[in-house]
Amino acid sequence: MKLSFIPIILFFVSSLSAESTFTNLTDPQEIRAFHDVTGRIRCICIPSIAIKSCSFNNCTVSAKLKVFIENRIRSGESADTIVEKMVKGFGPDAVKDPVIAKFIESGNTGMAESVVYGFGPDILAKPDSTWIDASLFMAGALGILLMFLYLKKRTAAKASNANPSQENEAFRKYLSEIEEKQK
């Protein structure tokens, strides 16, 4: 019975931790602003999720934009200002930021131009979590089913091992039949 609660607990813990993203910011107010911005801007590589949920492994461009956002927060810009500038553009001064300079240096001028002139309203996160929620539910249900089948098999194996004298008796009877046929 206690084992059946483990997947439920793991599901809730993972769903709570899925809402956070790594940041180098240390001030609680700056961290809140970072989470606000990254929750309102979409991931560049996976548009159906917010940049907050987009991991470095999935999208290096979004990871670099997170650093850019951190830099803007450190410079004193508010979350609303950053989101507005993501849509309308940060202006030519944005190329002074090391992240944008690195985009230009590496040949990703399209990304640098989008930061300078704005991504437009399509950068705003409008994630549809239906498929994510459904897949998490299906994975949880599959996990519970597999645990149930494992426990059922384990219980059946214990029951068959609980009465070995009947098995031994049947085996002895089988051996004696073979011996009689050989005589």
pLDDT in tens, 8-54: 444 444 444 444 577 878 889 999 999 999 999 998 888 878 888 88
Residues 109 and 160 in one domain: no
Domain annotation covers residue 6: no
Give me the domain span that covers residue 173.
Answer: 130-182
| Amino acid, single-letter form, for residue 42 | R
Domain annotation covers residue 2: no
Residues 101 and 167 in one domain: no
Last residue of a domain, one of 123, 145, 160: 123
| Amino acid, single-letter form, for residue 52 | K
The structure tokens 């159906």 sit at: 48
* Residue 160 parent element (H or E): helix 130-162
DSSP state of 19: T
Residues 86 and 175 in one domain: no
pLDDT at position 113 is 94
**What is the maximum span of the chain, computed from C-alpha positions, in angstroms?**
102
d(CA 86, CA 88): 6
Last residue of a domain, one of 105, 123, 141: 123
What's the mean pLDDT when you consider all of the chain?
82
Residues 110 and 142 in one domain: no
